[in-house]
């Protein structure tokens, strides 16, 4: 079902980055509002039926130099989100490119003998996924394994339906001297794609909170028992097989190796992902700060992520010093699940679950004692598909698509000017004209 959207007049702001259009691997194409497209032969506009994104090969942001820690969230992005700082915008889009590369590198074809693996070797992944000039070197492929115990009858089902372990992303480290100079430090990136396999979808549905390992729990089922996270996300992060390690083990071993190699340099760890990948990015950041006492600044840049854990989990993230920036589309239902949010401290209940906030306190306490009460983490950059005149209508799939998020980030200015109308419209529309 498509929704009819009433659009406010976009703001006119000088452009900063180009836009192009690329295909989408997971979700439905975005429907573009043709009244914003110049008169051209129809055949020249066939490429416009795909979701939108910025041109990753466009001009790079200026040198971050001493400002890099602020861009990475050392001050929780105070004064950088509204209006959106252009340097921060560039970095958000750049990390979005890394997530996009994870999608493009994944083999989605169930009939392929290499289904659910990475299509490209480490040496050429960036180039073959459309990112030839990142300045980064890919150092590790990552796999996630579902911990769901399958019934015996599934042995007769097609293999692709119950693929237990699949390629989920990668680790990369900046190595180009010019890029390291521009960034002001050496940066390690961990990038995760979103849900792709059947078992990953099933893990997403395991939405009750579960206790994190190695934490004390005296009062089972409440925030007082310590950090709790969504059962399915934790399963994908910590489960392994007799033939292969868990995602957690792979991340820890690779980060340990990189810290030993580059520990005497100025270093940052940036974990980024979309959808399920955003949830895994948050878990991985928490785990890295837990496992390595002297780890550098760890930052999460998440796109369209669901809720991950309870209030205690958020408090532990903050105490660790982990910085989380959530990019949220108000029209994306995935960012509103799972569970409920009851959190008077940050007024999040009023934003996410107004019905819960209006309940009597004794009922709220009962709900809090269940395994369904989540808490939002970090800082939020809130966008809306409704603000884009290029999206004539939208549905659940397009509102959640990573390309939609990159499009909205590129055009967002501030809460008073949520969409700039003339920000490189030429690049947005013309780069795929045949």
Measured CA to CA, the distance from residue 387 to residue 395 in angstroms comes to: 14
Measured CA to CA, the distance from residue 297 to residue 324 in angstroms comes to: 11
What's the rounded mean pLDDT across residues 45-57? 39
Query: In Å, what is the CA distance from 321 to each residue of 49, 216, 239, 276?
Result: 42, 21, 26, 23
Per-chain mean pLDDT for the chain: 81
What pLDDT is attached to residue 393?
Answer: 64
What pLDDT is attached to residue 216?
Answer: 59
Residues 396, 406, 8: CA angle, nearest 5 degrees: 70
Measured CA to CA, the distance from residue 308 to residue 232 in angstroms comes to: 10
> Catalytic amino acids?
275, 332, 400
The HSE-up count of residue 206 (CA atoms within 13 Å, CB side) is 18
Measured CA to CA, the distance from residue 284 to residue 279 in angstroms comes to: 9
Domain membership of residue 379 (yes or no) is: yes
For 292-360, where are the alpha helices, taking DSSP H only? Answer: 311-320, 348-352, 354-357
Per the CB < 8 A criterion, the answer to whether 87 and 100 are in contact is: no
Ramachandran angles phi, psi of 252, nearest 5°: -60, -45
Of 335, 326, 431, 319, the residue nearest 377 (C-alpha): 326
Domain membership of residue 427 (yes or no) is: no
What pLDDT is attached to residue 264?
Answer: 93
Domain membership of residue 290 (yes or no) is: yes
Q: Where are the extended beta strands (E) located within 250-329?
A: 267-274, 297-303, 323-329
Domain membership of residue 90 (yes or no) is: no
Residue 182 has pLDDT above 70, yes or no: yes
What pLDDT is attached to residue 347?
Answer: 40
What are the beta bridge partners of residue 272?
191, 301
What pLDDT is attached to residue 360?
Answer: 64
What's the rounded mean pLDDT across residues 137-159? 85
Domain membership of residue 211 (yes or no) is: yes
Domain membership of residue 318 (yes or no) is: yes
DSSP 414: B
What's the rounded mean pLDDT across residues 150-179? 86
Query: In Å, what is the CA distance from 76 to each residue of 41, 352, 373?
Result: 48, 21, 24
Instruction: Indicate the length of the chain as a whole number.
Output: 434
- 0.95 cut: is pTM over it? no
Of 208, 204, 131, 228, the residue nearest 170 (C-alpha): 131
Residue matched to tokens 């309940």: 359
**Residue numbers of the domain that contains 117:** 98-386
Measured CA to CA, the distance from residue 314 to residue 402 in angstroms comes to: 25
What's the rounded mean pLDDT across residues 6-25? 45
- Label the pairing between strands 136-145 and 165-174: antiparallel
Give helix 231-238 / helix 276-291 axis angle, nearest 10°. Answer: 60
The mean-pLDDT minimum among 189-203, 292-306, 355-369, 396-410 falls in 355-369
The mean-pLDDT minimum among 155-164, 177-186, 211-220, 335-344 falls in 211-220
What are the beta bridge partners of residue 136?
174
Of 295, 357, 351, the residue nearest 323 (C-alpha): 295
Domain membership of residue 337 (yes or no) is: yes
Measured CA to CA, the distance from residue 122 to residue 75 in angstroms comes to: 34
Handedness of CA 23, 29, 35, 40 (dihedral sign): positive
The CATH number that applies at residue 305 is 3.40.50.1820
Measured CA to CA, the distance from residue 114 to residue 120 in angstroms comes to: 11
Measured CA to CA, the distance from residue 402 to residue 408 in angstroms comes to: 10
Residue 21: both structure tokens together: 């259009």
What pLDDT is attached to residue 349?
Answer: 38
The mean-pLDDT minimum among 6-20, 161-175, 251-265 falls in 6-20
What pLDDT is attached to residue 158?
Answer: 77
What's the rounded mean pLDDT across residues 292-306? 95
Summarised one tens digit per residue, pLDDT across range 355-386 is 455 556 656 555 666 677 899 999 999 999 99
Confidence of residue 226 (pLDDT cuts 50, 70, 90): confident
Domain membership of residue 38 (yes or no) is: no
Per the CB < 8 A criterion, the answer to whether 289 and 322 are in contact is: yes
Measured CA to CA, the distance from residue 191 to residue 320 in angstroms comes to: 21
Ramachandran angles phi, psi of 32, nearest 5°: -90, 145
- Label the pairing between strands 52-54 and 297-303: unpaired
Residue 29 has pLDDT above 50, yes or no: no
In the chain, the number of structural domains is 1
């Amino acid at each position: 079902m498509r929704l009819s959207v009433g659009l406010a007049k976009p703001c006119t702001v000088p452009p900063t980055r180009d836009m192009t259009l690329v295909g989408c691997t997971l979700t439905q194409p975005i429907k573009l509002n043709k009244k914003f497209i110049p008169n051209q032969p129809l055949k020249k506009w066939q490429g416009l039926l795909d979701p939108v994104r910025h041109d990753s090969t466009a001009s790079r942001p200026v040198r971050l130099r001493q400002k890099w820690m602020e861009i990475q969230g050392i001050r929780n992005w105070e004064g950088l989100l509204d209006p959106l700082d252009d340097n921060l915008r560039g970095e958000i889009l750049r990390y979005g490119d890394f997530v996009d590369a994870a999608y493009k590198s994944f083999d989605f074809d169930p009939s392929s003998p290499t289904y659910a693996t990475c299509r490209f070797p480490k040496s050429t992944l960036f180039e073959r996924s459309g990112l030839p000039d990142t300045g980064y070197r890919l150092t590790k492929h990552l796999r996630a394994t579902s911990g769901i115990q399958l019934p015996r009858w599934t042995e007769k089902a097609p293999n692709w339906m119950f693929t237990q372990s699949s390629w989920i992303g990668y680790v990369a480290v900046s190595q180009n001297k010019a890029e390291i100079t521009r960034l002001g430090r050496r940066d390690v990136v961990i990038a995760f794609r979103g849900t792709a396999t059947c078992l990953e979808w099933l893990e997403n549905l395991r939405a009750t909170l579960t206790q994190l390992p190695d934490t004390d729990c005296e009062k089972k089922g409440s925030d007082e028992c310590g950090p709790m996270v969504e059962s399915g996300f934790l399963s994908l992060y910590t489960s392994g097989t007799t033939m292969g390690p868990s995602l957690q083990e792979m991340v820890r071993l690779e980060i340990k190796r990189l810290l030993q190699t580059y520990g005497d340099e100025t270093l940052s760890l940036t974990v980024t992902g979309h959808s399920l990948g955003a949830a895994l990015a948050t878990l991985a950041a928490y785990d890295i700060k837990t496992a390595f006492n002297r780890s550098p600044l760890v930052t999460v840049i998440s796109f369209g992520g669901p809720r991950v854990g309870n209030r205690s989990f958020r408090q532990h993230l903050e105490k660790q010093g982990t910085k989380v920036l959530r990019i949220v589309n108000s029209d994306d239902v995935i960012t509103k699940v799972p569970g409920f949010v009851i959190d008077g401290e940050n007024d999040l209940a009023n934003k996410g679950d107004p019905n819960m906030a209006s309940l009597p306190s004794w009922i709220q306490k009962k709900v809090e004692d269940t395994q369904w009460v989540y808490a939002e983490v970090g800082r939020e950059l809130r966008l809306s598909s409704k603000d884009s005149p290029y999206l004539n209508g939208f549905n659940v799939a397009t509102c959640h698509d990573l390309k939609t998020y990159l499009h909205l980030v590129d055009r967002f200015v501030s809460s008073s000017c949520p969409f700039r109308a003339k920000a490189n419209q030429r690049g947005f529309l013309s780069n795929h004209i045949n």
